[in-house]
Amino acid sequence: MSNGKIYVLFFTLCLLGISTASATEATIVNSAKSVSTSTETNTAQSDTAALQQRIEELENKVDMLIRLQSSQVSQTTEQSTHLSTAPNEDKSNNNWQFKKKPTSGVMTRQRVNEMQYGGFVVTDNTSSISIGGLIVASAYEDFREMTNENAFVVSSIVMNDKLVPRTRFDASNSRFYINSDVHLGKLDYQTRFEFDFNGPNGTYAFRLRHAFVTFWNFIIGYTSSTFCDVPVQPEIFDNGGPSGSIARRQTKITYFQDLPKGWKIMLSLEDGQGDIFDTTGRVQEKSTRISPDFVVSIRWKSEHDDLTQISLSGVLHPISYEGIYPRKIALGGGVSFAARYAFTKKDYLIANLLYTNGASKYVNDPIDPYDALITLAPNGRSVNIERQTMYGGHLYYHHDWISSKLATDMGYSFIGVGRNHQATHIADNDPLYGHYGTLNVSYYPFNKVAFGFETIAGVRQNIDGSNAFNVRLLLRALFSF
């Protein structure tokens, strides 16, 4: 091969090599760019997804805080304590958090009775548990002996002419509660367990106050009777509350329905247990549960303020005797009207009227705590059921002073027993009427702290006209947690 051909061949091979290398380099560069672009795209998509997930988690937590805040305002009664807003069902974060439960307003008796006092919350995205309670310490001085020292029960005033001063320190009305708020998609429910230390015979043993669940429009469990309008109760310190009011907790199944313009209806089947006094054997007995009590309550609350409201409630209570004589059945019942009217934001009036016939179990300080008396019929072979009639009421005035941190409540209540017979089993020293009055001053230095002084006066009047009078001076301190 000549040198010229060799040079031409060498030159051609060089050109082919350079061209191949350039193409390879371009392919590598393009591949690298493609990989880099793909990596950047994947990274951006991953960051966007993570950011979106974080935003959803924060939204869920904000929803939970809003629900917890709204639960403090939306509780209309102790029975209807439930949350209306369901949280986001995102379960990507199941870490429980420990938070302080928000509170607003001073710690009044109304808020305590409606179970609207603070606590601490353990929550995740779908459920929450709140824990809290009250420390209530009281010191009081009685000027006459009473058989019931824990509460000022007029019928327990001892009938004698001696002044017997009694000093007592008490913390039995302190309370502890555990709430839960659970959301399971289509079913949202809330539970409440509450205890105090008002044990039997003056002990500090646990006593159940509430154990109920609220879901949809139902309340099931042990709590205040629907016959009792809890919000319409005066701001007093006495553990028992005024005579002539409705006060009873029992197991029940309640359906409630909100109606337009502030109206609400509640229908309830409740424990039918009651007390009867069998004069044929001179013993106190329990009425046999032949059916539940039936309670209906219609309530209205003003849309213009949080105070003005009225309620009208009725109850049917079956009474049954089973003993050595043939079985006997009767039907008892009662009606109650309660109202609270606000003149201004600082002044309101509370009124309650009640009448029961064979349903004394619902009356606070019933004087004669029996639904009925069992008497022997004239033929001597059967018994009669004589239903006990009771009537009463209270009227109270509330005033906030310069600020809501200082308040005064004063009022009077009355309870009477209808004696439509004068049988031999009615003793002359049995109580016939009870009068009860209070005057207090409350100071709320902080939202969860309250101090107060109260004067309570009561008169017991018997069938024979004799009477006994007592005055109690009471100091109280309340701390919620």
pLDDT reported for residue 283: 60
End-to-end CA distance of the chain: 108
CB neighbour burial string for 331-341, b if at least 16 within 10 angstroms, e if fewer: ebbbebbbbbe
Residue 213 has φ and ψ, to the nearest 5°, of -125, 140
**CB proximity list for 234: less than 8 A, separation 6 or greater:** 109, 241, 242, 350, 394, 396, 398, 409, 411, 438
**CB distance 235 to 108 below 8 Å:** yes
pLDDT reported for residue 441: 95
**CB distance 438 to 389 below 8 Å:** no
- Strands 467-480 and 127-142 come out as antiparallel
- What are the CA-CA distances from residue 207 to residues 19, 128, 173 (Å)? 96, 25, 10
DSSP H helical segments within 74-187, as ranges? 109-113
pLDDT reported for residue 85: 28
**What tokens appear for 403 in the block?**
């600020």
pTM of the model: 0.75
d(CA 436, CA 237): 13
**CB distance 326 to 320 below 8 Å:** no
Q: State whether residue 404 is helix, strand or coil.
A: coil
Domains of the chain: 133-480 (2.40.160.10)
Residue 201 has φ and ψ, to the nearest 5°, of 60, 35
pLDDT in tens, the chain (481 residues): 444 443 333 333 333 443 443 444 444 334 444 434 444 444 445 566 666 666 666 666 555 555 554 444 344 333 333 322 233 333 333 344 444 454 445 555 555 555 555 667 787 777 888 898 999 999 999 998 888 878 898 888 888 777 888 899 999 999 999 999 998 888 899 999 999 998 887 788 889 999 999 999 999 999 999 999 887 888 899 988 888 888 899 999 999 999 999 999 999 999 998 888 887 765 667 777 889 999 999 999 998 888 899 999 999 999 988 878 888 899 999 999 999 999 998 999 999 999 999 999 999 876 667 888 888 888 888 888 889 899 999 999 999 987 778 999 999 999 998 765 444 456 667 778 899 999 999 999 988 899 999 999 999 988 888 889 999 999 999 998 8
Closest to 138 in 3D by CA, of 481, 474, 480, 465: 474
pLDDT reported for residue 463: 81
d(CA 80, CA 190): 10
CB neighbour burial string for 90-127, b if at least 16 within 10 angstroms, e if fewer: eeebeeeeeeebebeebbbbbbbbbbbbbbebebbbbb
Taking the mean position of all CA atoms in its chain, how far away is CA 462?
A: 36
pLDDT reported for residue 17: 43
pLDDT reported for residue 190: 93
